[in-house]
Amino acid sequence: MSANLEADFVIIGSGSAGSALSNRLSEDGKHSVIIIEAGGADFGPLIQMPAALSFPMNMATYDWRFSTEPEPHLNGRQLVTPRGKVIGGSSSINGMVYVRGHARDFDHWAENGANGWSYADVLPYFQKMEQVAFADQDGWRGKKGPLHVQRGKSRNPLYQAFIAAGRQAGFELTDDYNGEKQEGFGQMEQTIHQGRRWSAANAYLKPALKRKNVTLVKGLARKVVIENQRATGVEIENGNVIRTIRARREVIIAASSINSPKLLMLSGIGPAEHLAQFNIPVVADRQGVGQNLQDHMELYIQQSCVQPITLHSKLNLISKAMIGAQWLFFKSGDGASNHFESAAFLRSKAGVEYPDIQYHFLPAAIRYDGKAAAEGHGFQAHVGPMRSKSRGSVTLRSDDPRDKPKILFNYMSHPDDWADFRHCIRLTREIFGQHAFDPYRGEEIQPGKHVQTDDELDDFIRDHAESAFHPCGTCKMGAADDPMAVVDPECRVIGVENLRVADSSIFPRITNGNLNSPSIMTGEKAADHILGHDMLPRSNKQPWINPRWQVSDR
């Protein structure tokens, strides 16, 4: 690495948004781009084989190994907060579930100061980035983008049982929850292509790195160099060597909702009184940096299965070896799916306009760390509320860039969260109790049929609620006169020139579902802002809203 490394644009982070930015900022050949990434390569089956998803998010090689402070409303539990430390960032260690979010999520952003980010504005960017592997008659989906999206083969009958049970319980079905109609039960979508994880690195970064004007630099970003309120470069550390990479035009932080606010604060941008604790000179007093932290929580509702058809039979060493071999040689078989192949988006009650509950269905009773929850065959639904009112924060532990920040989600701090989660448990029991599951249903594994009262359910929630790993919101986008906004609607850091943030940290409010898709969309749209391009023409498509929403939950 030469001492005078510089480029027009310097991007910190090669994750979902950073990879998209690296590709779009360099594609016309007019601008040079440097991407700074602290992690290493994404080669090998642990990342590229979809069914191996539980491994990389539990390995220090690929994960920053963050965890929360003791969460006061969850019996002081410290929950893991995986973030990708590897080419492709969290898109290389996530569950490969593809959800755009509901149209009303983005309308809410625009109504609260993120002008130009309504659904009509962002839908064309979702279409630009996608290449779907299934029919789309009505033009809601993209056909030519770099991000391949598929649906699972749903060979296990339990996937269809889950969808049929939803219909029997009186809920809607949907042919495409990322299209006109999110609400209902249907097939889940995956960022998997030809049997491989289709991360943002595979979709965007690797093609960009083939260009002469794009360079990937390994190193830990220590801070943004700011001179006279203008970002001019990034100080990085590689081994024991500290160097500055110069940005001729702009620095773009795309380092995650955990690391982006940390970097801003280390650079002197954040709440002045917090920076003063560590003698960090204040460049811009932005009270919102690190605040507004949000996430989705979920519970695993698990049922034993009386037929030996679940993934339990594939957990022994011989089966794993055979699955691995089939994937290595043919990129097919059980190794080529994340096994999330059925989904549902539901409304919790009458008066809720659009879905606020998400389901992932899995034909196994297993945890994210890959360990079986119970002996024998079972199936489970991951379920949780989508719009918790609880808010947390990311703050500095010290002024040392190598120190992990303090993360406190403040999970379940709002009383509504408890009622919402109790409803999720009872609703899942209702769905699992439908006729479609009669041939398969055994005893309830978790919570267990003895757990029935509100107090008993609350105890279960306190002990077992887990993060869905969707942190966002810590560098909120909003109007320039909003004291809690960190970036304006063009992703520019308020109060500092030539500095932007573009990743899930800028989401004003968490979107409905998994965050990889809206994070990539953010990178796509931010690139047009940075380059001064006209925005893609607004869409006139209108989402389906349940005509019964004011009177029924279904």
**Residue 260: closest CA among 529, 15, 47, 43:** 15
Q: How big is the chain, counted in residues?
A: 554
| Contact criterion met (CB below 8 Å) for 14 and 22 | yes
DSSP 280: P
User: Omega of the bond prior to 547 within 30 degrees of 0, cis?
Assistant: no
What is the rounded CA–CA span in Å between residue 266 and residue 278? Answer: 9
Instruction: Give the active site residue among 102, 339, 360, 470.
Output: 470
What is the rounded CA–CA span in Å between residue 95 and residue 291? Answer: 26
Annotation says 296 is catalytic: no
| Contact criterion met (CB below 8 Å) for 20 and 204 | yes
Q: What is the 3-state secondary structure (H, E, C) of 299-360?
A: EEEEEEECCCCCHHHHCCHHHHHHHHHHHHHHCCHHHHCCCCCEEEEECCCCCCCCCCEEEE
Annotated binding-site ranges: 8-37, 86, 94-97
Rama region for 12: left / alpha / beta (φ>0; ψ in -120 to 50; rest)? beta
Residue by residue, DSSP assigns 119-166 as: HHHHHHHHHHHEEESS--TTS-S-SSSSEEEEE----SHHHHHHHHHH
Beta bridge partners of 372: 366
Q: How far is CA 429 from CA 48, 426, 434, in A?
A: 35, 5, 9
3-class DSSP assignment, residue 290 = coil
Cα-Cα-Cα-Cα dihedral sign, residues 336, 302, 345, 18: negative
The distance from CA 481 to its chain's CA centroid, rounded to whole angstroms, is: 28
Contacts of 353 (CB under 8 A, 6+ apart): 104, 347, 545, 549
Beta bridge partners of 392: 293
Active-site residue numbers?
470
